[in-house]
Every structure is written in C-alpha cells, then in structure tokens.
Amino acid sequence: MKPIDLHPDRLFPADPSVRDLARALYATVQDLPIVSPHGHTDPQWYADDPAFPDAAGLLITPDHYVFRMLYSQGIPMEDLGIPRRDGKPVEQDSRKIWRLFASNYHLFRGTPTRMWLDHAFRTVFGMEERLSAESADRYFDRINAALATPAFRPRALFERFNIEVIATTESPLDPLAHHRKIRDSGWKGRVITAYRPDPVVDPEFEGFRDNVAQLGALTGENTATWAGYLAAHRNRRAFFRSMGATSTDHGHPTARTADLAPAECQRLLDRALAGTIDAEDAELFRAQILTEMAAMSVDDGLVMQIHPGSFRNHNPQLFRDYGRDKGADIPTPTDYVHALRPLLGKLGNERNLTVILFTLDETSYSRELAPLAGHYPILKLGPSWWFHDSPEGMLRFREQVTETAGFYNTVGFNDDTRAFLSIPARHDVARRIDCRFLATLVREHRLGEDEAFELAPELAYRLAKRAYRL
C-alpha cells in the first residue's frame, strides 16, 4: 500500500530554524474557525441537508478544477458525467466515472487540487492509502458508505469543519428561498448570500434583455429607464442585505470603470436592451455599472468585490455543449491604474466604502495593485485567486504586495470554491503558507517574533471578518 503523505511539516521551509518557528505559528491558528466570505457552494445543501449523492457526484462532476485537468488530457466530458445542454446522454455509472478519475489521478501530481483531495480523503474519510486504479473501488465504497450516514450530511460537515460563516453567491433574480429556509429552520450555522449581478449588468450575458425585464418585474421598477434600472438594483440589494448579505461580487472581463452622464447611460441601456450594442459599448456599460455599484455601496455598506481578468468560456465548443463554468476560463492581462481611475476619482477617498480587488494577472501585484491599495482608503487586496490559489501563488502574492501595501491592506484568505470538502484543505494551505512567510521575516530579522504571533491570527481569521463586515 502506498500511503497518503500528509506530513505535519508540509509547506514549511526546509531550514530547521525557520521551520520550527513556522510550526509554532501554525499551532496557534490551525484550529481557528473558518471564515469563508466568498464562494460558490450550493445553499440548497444547507437548506435541505440532503445526503450527497456519491463519491463521483460530490468530488468530480461539480468541480471544474478536477474535470479541467482530465479534459486537457483528452478525456471526454461525457465520460465524466458532466451534463450536456442539449440533454444528450452522458455517463451515469458513478463507479465507472470514479474508476476513470482514479486511474488518472497521477495527472494531478504537484497541483493544489492533489493537496486538497488528499487532505479530504485522509481527514474527512480516514483513507490511508493513496488513490489509484487499484484502490479505486475501496475508495468508492468507503466514501459512499460514509455519505449515507448523518455525520456526512452538509450541516454536520459544516459544523465538523468549524465553519463560522460561509457566503454563497446569487444573482439578483434569485428569490433566495434556500437562504430563507436556512434562516427559518433554527439551525445555528451561518450561511449568507452575496449580490452577484452579472446576468443583469453584462449586455453580453445570455438572456440579458429578459433578465433585465425580470429584474423590473421583481422590483416594480421600469428597468427600461436608467433611473428605474438603478432603483431596481437598490431594491434587490436591500433584499439581499435583509437576508444576510454583506458583500457584492462583480466578475467583469476587465477592471474598467466609467463616470458618464445619465443621458449617455440611457443611450447604452437602450442599445443593450435592443440587442444592438457593440463590444466596446458593452464594456463601457459594464464600466459604468462598477462605478454605480460602488456608489450604492457607500449608501448601503455592502463590501464590493471586483474579480476581473478572466476570458470566460474561451472554448466555444465546450460552452455550446456544456455551458458556463466548465474549466475553459483563461486569465488575461489586466490594467488597474487607468481602468479604476474614474471610480477612484469619484469615490476613492470615501470612508464608508470597501472595494476588494482580485487579479489573475500577477504582473500587476507590485506595479499596480499594491501601490493603489497602499494609497486609496477604499481599496483592499483580495488573496491569490483561482489559478494562483496554490502555495507558490500565495507566496508570490505576499512577497510582491507586502513591501508596499503591508498586511493590513489585504483581507486574509477566501476559498472561492464550489467543492465543499476542499474548504478546510484550502484554508489549511493558506495558514501554513502565511506562517512560513512570517517565520521567514522573523529569521531574516525583518519582523519581531511577537509581531509574527500577532499577525498569524489576523491573516488566518480576523482580517477577513473585518474586511467583509462579518
């Protein structure tokens, strides 16, 4: 049997003196509650508390980190049970899907996905042998047996994982019925929503015109007028706040912002609703929306998150056959200095506004993002995100932004995941890497040891709570 290697000193430096301090710092934060202020888990899990379907349905088909790698090696999506838009048949035999995954588990060597999965296999299901084609059936049977018990229902795992609060992400068109059911159930787990308006702010989003009409119907506002359209957003934001939301989230292609006159905004809205808007004006419309959303956040206190720089659905065939979020999103270069200036010129000095910036363009860390956050009171830097949610990505982030933005213009860690069982693993990696970074600063005589022990829980827990007003 080849064992799963979860070494207690994993991700710590090789130098013994630095490693010893990193280990001591980690001991103070490893058991802190998890604050997960931005993610994509399904609120229905917590509302209905159903048993998860099986090993494949829990760990493969919902996780684009997993099937993205397999697809890159020529494994068809149908063979992994990924539903098609046209309803054509896909593999339904979960054991067969699991065996295919297990026989290709070697593809994940050296990746964060491998660390997250091994962590879940060992700590959640008690597996001691490494996943392989030979051990696939033993894994499948053991995981499925566990999932059939009450201890592995979503609410029980939420409590076992020591999650203090988790935020899901919903469209303004969502009635938030699952969140209401959670609230009415009497369960003590804190699950909140976040306002993600992409379907009604992006003219290039499929169904945009119908989505905006539905927004008007929900709010009683005339969303064909710019004033009514903005009023509808304010209405839905207030509803989301009443259901626990503390943040908004904006997944725009770029970080571009604008500060246009109302007449120009109306012109753009007219063209968007008529379906005659071109790509440049669609980008200008999204740019204006970011500034409008920031202004609304000044009034209602919702923390604003901007996640730009992904070329979404890059593979047209995959998008046509399977839809969004199927592992075909690709990072692009992102300008922040010029793109954000209209918003910052209008609102950058507000004291009641927090804008958290994320990037997939690491070249912007020290050149743009750290200097911007190190100056403007409204700006904070989100952690290394998505493709860079890795030990190397986390270290690059700390090394490049700390010198200019410091620690307190960052917001700790968030896991940004659909894969529920990866949440503890992701936070554990972040805590280990931050302790490694702090220990290195101490041993280089750049930080007092007492300061490192003060900073460790800030990075692991407190900064996220403060930044997201939790």
Average pLDDT over residues 275-294: 98
pLDDT digits 0-9 by tens, 419-455:
999 999 999 999 999 999 999 999 999 999 999 999 9
Name, in order, each residue with C-beta under 8 angstroms of 131's C-beta and a sequence gap of 6 or more. 102, 105, 117, 121, 139
Q: What is the pLDDT of residue 370?
A: 98
The reply to whether CATH 3.20.20.140 applies to domain 16-47+162-467 is: yes
Q: What is the pLDDT of residue 148?
A: 97
Does 278 score more than 90 pLDDT?
yes
Q: What is the pLDDT of residue 327?
A: 78
pLDDT digits 0-9 by tens, 383-416:
999 999 999 999 999 999 999 999 999 999 999 9
10 Å CB burial of residue 27 (0-12, 13-18, 19+) is: exposed
Domain ranges of the chain: 16-47+162-467, 51-152
CB 124, CB 133: distance < 8 Å: no
Tokens 């503390």 map to which residue? 246
Instruction: Indicate the pTM of the whole model.
Output: 0.96
Instruction: Provide, rounded to the nearest whole percent, the portion of the chain with pLDDT above 70.
Output: 100
Take residue 293 and report the two structure tokens written for it.
């959303």
The reply to whether CATH 1.10.150.120 applies to domain 51-152 is: no
356 beta partners:
305, 380
Q: What is the pLDDT of residue 170?
A: 98
Name, in order, each residue with C-beta under 8 angstroms of 247's C-beta and a sequence gap of 6 or more. 37, 38, 167, 194, 195, 302, 303, 304, 305, 468, 469
Q: Which of 51-65, 188-202, 232-246 has the lowest mean pLDDT?
A: 51-65
Q: What is the pLDDT of residue 326?
A: 82
CB 327, CB 312: distance < 8 Å: no
pLDDT digits 0-9 by tens, 28-47:
999 999 999 999 999 999 99
Q: What is the pLDDT of residue 56?
A: 95
Write down the mean pLDDT value for the chain: 96
Does 63 score more than 90 pLDDT?
no
pLDDT digits 0-9 by tens, 316-364:
998 898 888 887 889 999 999 999 999 999 999 999 999 999 999 999 9
Q: What is the pLDDT of residue 127?
A: 97
Does 100 score more than 90 pLDDT?
yes
Take residue 456 and report the two structure tokens written for it.
């460790």
- Look at residues 415, 463, 421, 470 and name the one whose alpha carbon lies nearest to residue 40: 415
Q: What is the pLDDT of residue 61?
A: 87
Q: What is the pLDDT of residue 1?
A: 82
Q: What is the pLDDT of residue 53?
A: 92
